[in-house]
Amino acid sequence: MKKIVFTENAPKAIGPYSQAVEANGMLFISGQVPIDPATGKLVEEDIRIQTEQVMKNIGAILKAAGYSYADVVKSTCLLSDMNNFAAMNEVYGKYYPSDSPARAAYGVVKLPLGALIEIETIAAK
């Protein structure tokens, strides 16, 4: 059975998808872009600030579903410019200081709303 997860502490979906879906002890979080849920707008165009906001959004969804960063098993990072990889990695790493999840990172042509980064996440209990 699947359960739809929603929290006001993360951005509302900007299309026909859920913030996250839980099924069989796994949480699938949709790609998060750096939208401040309080304003509904992208944060400053700086990769560190945008990565921080994305990770906060992921954290809010994890919490709403009863998970934590320690439960994350896989992340997929999409970057509009791979030259931002090192700076993104620095911020991302603060959230996973040990036992980091599996991860892939891709350079893409364009992200929704002109974001510099998007991260999708899978967590498991």
Query: Sign of dihedral through CA atoms 100, 103, 105, 110?
Result: negative
- Name the residue range of residue 119's domain: 2-124
Proportion of the chain above pLDDT 90, given as a percent: 97
- Tell me the two tokens of residue 30: 């949709």
Give kind and range of the element (H or E) at residue 62: helix 47-64
Task: Check whether 33 has a pLDDT greater than 90.
Answer: yes
pLDDT grade, residue 1 (50/70/90)? confident
Mean pLDDT across 58-84: 98
Q: Higher confidence at residue 15 or residue 36?
A: 36
Q: What is the mean pLDDT of residues 42-57?
A: 97
Give the total number of structural domains in the chain. Answer: 1
Q: How confident is the model at residue 14 (pLDDT cuts 50, 70, 90)?
A: confident
CATH number at residue 15: 3.30.1330.40
In which order are the strands placed within the sheet that holds 102-107?
2-5, 20-23, 26-32, 117-124, 72-79, 102-107
